Structure 1
Amino acid sequence: MTQIPIILLAAGQSRRMRGADKLLQEIDGCPLLLRSAQTARAASSVIVALPSKPHPRYDVLQGLDLHLVEIADAEEGMNASLRGALSAVGQEAEAVMVLLADLPEITLDDLQTLIKATKAYPDKLIWRGSTASGQPGHPVIFSRLLFDQISRLTGDEGAQSVVRDHPDKVHLCVLPGQHAVLDLDTPEAWDIWTKNRNS
C-alpha cells in the first residue's frame, strides 16, 4: 500500500470547554493542535480540517508543511470536516487515516502501528486503534473502497456508521494504555489529566 495520508480533524468548536479552546491548551509549552499536527506529519502527509477563517488555530500551524482545509459548514459536525478533508486526498492514496486532534497521548509509534497493520491485514477495509481490552477508538484508517460512503455522511456521528456496516472488515490495533480513547473535552478533564501526568 502506498503512503497513507492523514486527515487531522481540528474544526470542532470546543463547546464543552466553556469558552476555552481545547486544541490551544498547552502540553509542555506546546499547543495540543501543534503537537498533534507535528506527530501526524512525522508519519505521513497531513490534511488539516479547520474552522472558517479567521481563527487562531491557523496561527498555531503557520509555517508547517500541511494542507489546511477550511470547513465553512463546520457547525454541522464532524462529517462536514470529513467530507471537506477527504475531497483533498489525492487519487493515488489507497487509504486515509482519520485522526482526532484532541487525543493528547497519541504518539508517532501509534500511527505507525496502524499503518503497518494495513500491510499485515490487507484483507480488511478498516484498521482502528483500540485499548488492550478491545475498546475501539482512534485513529482509524479507511480503505479507498469506503471513500464514497464516507463522502456521503452528514451530521456529527463521524464515520461510525461506516464501521458498523463492515463489522467483519475491521481490524483492531492495540495501542498502549488509553492512547486510543483518551480525549479531553472539559476543563475538569484537562486538570485531572495534567495532575496525573505530572504526579
Structure 2
Amino acid sequence: MKTRLILLAAGNSRRFGSNKLLYSIDEKPMFMYGLEVMKELILKDFDRELYVVTRFEPVMEAVEEMKSDPYLHDRTHIVNSPESTLGISYSIKAGLLEGEIQPDYYVFMVADQPFIKVETVERLIKETLNQEKIAGCVTWEGVPGNPVIFSKHLKYELLELQEDQGGKVVLKKYMNQICKITASCEEELIDKDTKDEFDMDGR
C-alpha cells in the first residue's frame, strides 16, 4: 500500500501572536518535532512518501537538510503553499494535489502538535490499512483528534473543503466506518494556541 504522509506546517497562528511553528520548546522549534516523527515513519516503510506543506523559509530549510539523506531524498517533498493564509483547506488541497502518483492512503498531521509519538502514528497507519478502513484517527477519551488518515476514495471529498474547514468535516460522515486509535496520553493530542498555555505547563 502506498501511503502519503502530509505534514501541515503553514498555519496562521493568529491567537499565538507570532509564528507558533517557530516557537522554541526545549531549544527546538515546534515544527521540528512533527518533522522528526515523519522522518522516522518514512524510514520504517519504503512505500511511504512525505509532503511538507508550508510557506515558511525555516521549515523549507529543515526539509532540504533532511533530504540530504539518500534514503529520504526522493521520498521527501516540499509543497510551497502561500494560499494557506486563506485557511487550512488550502493546505490540505496542496498536499493532496502535489505529485504524480496517487497513493492508497493519505495521512495528515499538524506541525503544532509537538508531543505526538511515532508509535501512535504508526499504529494508526497499520491498523487502518490492515482493517481496510476508509479512514482513521487518533482519539483520547473517545474524542477524535489528529493525526488522521483517509483512503484515496475520499480524496475528492477532501478537495471540496472550503476556507477553514479541516479534514474532520469529512471524517464525521464516516465515524461508524473508521479506525480509531487511542493515544498513549492526553498530551499527545494537545494543540496549544497561545504562549501562555505553554508557559503554564512550564514548557
Counterpart Cα distance in 2 of 1:136 and 1:152? 21
1:47 aligns with 2:51: yes
The corresponding residue for 1:23 is: 21
SS at structure 2 position matched to 1:152: coil
Report matched runs for 1:1-199 at 5 Å. Answer: 2-18=1-17, 20-44=18-42, 45-51=49-55, 55-65=57-67, 66-122=76-132, 124-131=133-140, 133-193=141-201, 195=202
TM-score w.r.t. structure 2 length? 0.85
Unaligned runs of 5+ in 2: 43-48, 68-75
Shift of 1:89: 4.9
Aligned length: 189
Letter paired with 1:147:
K
Distance 1:27 1:3, change over 3 A: farther
The corresponding residue for 2:70 is: none
Output one character per residue of 1:144-198: Cα deviation in whole Å (capped at 9) or x when no partner.
Answer: 00011111211112112211222322221111111453012101111123x1x6x
SS at structure 2 position matched to 1:67: strand
Alignment RMSD, CA only?
A: 1.8
Output one character per residue of 1:56-105: Cα deviation in whole Å (capped at 9) or x when no partner.
Answer: 33234331123111112112200000001111255351001000111111
Output one character per residue of 1:23-50: Cα deviation in whole Å (capped at 9) or x when no partner.
Answer: 1122232211122111112102211111
Distance 1:98 1:90, change over 3 A: farther
Output one character per residue of 1:109-166: Cα deviation in whole Å (capped at 9) or x when no partner.
Answer: 11111111123321x21110001x1111010000000011111211112112211222
Distance 1:85 1:40, change over 3 A: same
Counterpart Cα distance in 2 of 1:177 and 1:70? 33
Distance 1:146 1:163, change over 3 A: same
How many percent of aligned residue pairs carry the same amino acid?
26
Counterpart Cα distance in 2 of 1:89 and 1:62? 17
Counterpart Cα distance in 1 of 2:134 and 2:106? 11
SS at structure 1 position matched to 2:142: coil
Unaligned runs of 5+ in 1: none
Determine if contact 1:137/1:180 at 8 Å carries over to the other structure.
no
SS at structure 1 position matched to 2:82: coil
Determine if contact 2:6/2:53 at 8 Å carries over to the other structure.
yes
TM-score w.r.t. structure 1 length? 0.87
Determine if contact 1:4/1:93 at 8 Å carries over to the other structure.
yes
Counterpart Cα distance in 1 of 2:191 and 2:26? 17
Counterpart Cα distance in 1 of 2:125 and 2:180? 12
SS at structure 2 position matched to 1:5: strand
Distance 1:57 1:76, change over 3 A: same
